[in-house]
Amino acid sequence: MILIADSGSTKTDWVVAEGHNVLKTFKTVGMNPYFVQTEEAKGILQEAFAGKFNKEDIRAVHFYGAGCSSAPKQQVIQDALQDIFPHITTEVDHDMLGAARALFGNSSGIACILGTGSNACVYDGRHITESLFSLGYMFGDEGSGAHLGKTYIADHLKEKAPQEIMHAFVDKYELSREMILTNIYKKSNPNRFLASFTHFLREHITHPYVYSLVQACFEAFFEEQLSRFSEYKKYRLGCIGSVAYHFREVFEKAAEKYGLQVTQMMASPMEGLVRYHAGKPS
């Protein structure tokens, strides 16, 4: 059996698989090494794994995570996994490589992730050949849940959004201006707080203001990220993540404006990762 993880800033999805067969799935909190250290990650994993499977039956662990783009950050998670599985292979890679493998297997394409955060890369079927350094929700993450939420919240606080949308927001969340600012500036994980409002935007996507807001955020993603790749129009485009998946029509129209066609769309990379690793030696 192998253990596969897809970890974002908000949550981590886990699968225990044997070949193409998924034996068990479960979730933990996100384990971005920019926000958690080895001991904290180890504690999360030990608690999560208890009673889920027999550790002696696991022969390999493949962890794909947001924030795991450099060797020092990968080592944070690697050390936690090695403490728990000292005698087997543990692979820690960036979530972009996981997305590319899930979407394209051994073929080439541009892989995108749009969830709480956003990122993209060019994949040649084996390696990531082009990528951009993620600046996170403060300076980047265009098109992500955090970006959509931040864009709406800015309009809401400045009273630039239509009155009917603002009233619907207050009715749904009962958040005052002070409560919103406290969550953003004084509490942990403001990116998750901002991304949580994508549910509200989905509910009101037929409103012209909301549709235009989401479309503008997606166009910013193409402008600031994908269009910076060399010859980006020649590649197939695949995307993973709840934001692009649930706003698929708007995302595809933004892609069309930039001369791209979305050939694959997945809410989660897990099915593709199970398929990919089933065809590889552990």
pLDDT, tens digit, 9 for 90 and up, residues 14-50: 999 999 899 999 998 888 888 889 999 999 999 989 8
For residue 127 the two structure tokens come to: 């390696």
Q: What 3-state class would DSSP assign to 160?
A: coil
Q: What's the pLDDT at 279? A: 73
Q: What's the pLDDT at 134? A: 76
Average pLDDT over residues 115-121: 90
Does 169 score more than 50 pLDDT?
Answer: yes
Radius of gyration of the chain (CA): 19
What are the residue ranges spanned by the domains of the chain?
Answer: 2-102+269-278
> pLDDT tens digits, residue range 233-253?
999 999 998 899 999 999 999
* Residue 162 burial (10 A CB sphere; 0-12, 13-18, 19+): middle
Percentage above 90 pLDDT, the chain: 72
Does 135 score more than 90 pLDDT?
Answer: no
Single-letter amino acid code for the residue at 118: S
Average pLDDT over residues 102-124: 93
Q: What's the pLDDT at 280? A: 65
Average pLDDT over residues 277-282: 68
Does 181 score more than 50 pLDDT?
Answer: yes
Percentage above 70 pLDDT, the chain: 99
Helix segments in the chain, DSSP class H = 38-49, 71-84, 95-104, 136-139, 145-157, 163-173, 177-185, 190-195, 198-203, 208-224, 242-246, 248-257, 270-278
Does 197 score more than 90 pLDDT?
Answer: yes
What class is the 2-102+269-278 domain?
Answer: alpha beta
Q: What's the pLDDT at 69? A: 83
The reported pTM is 0.83
Does 215 score more than 50 pLDDT?
Answer: yes
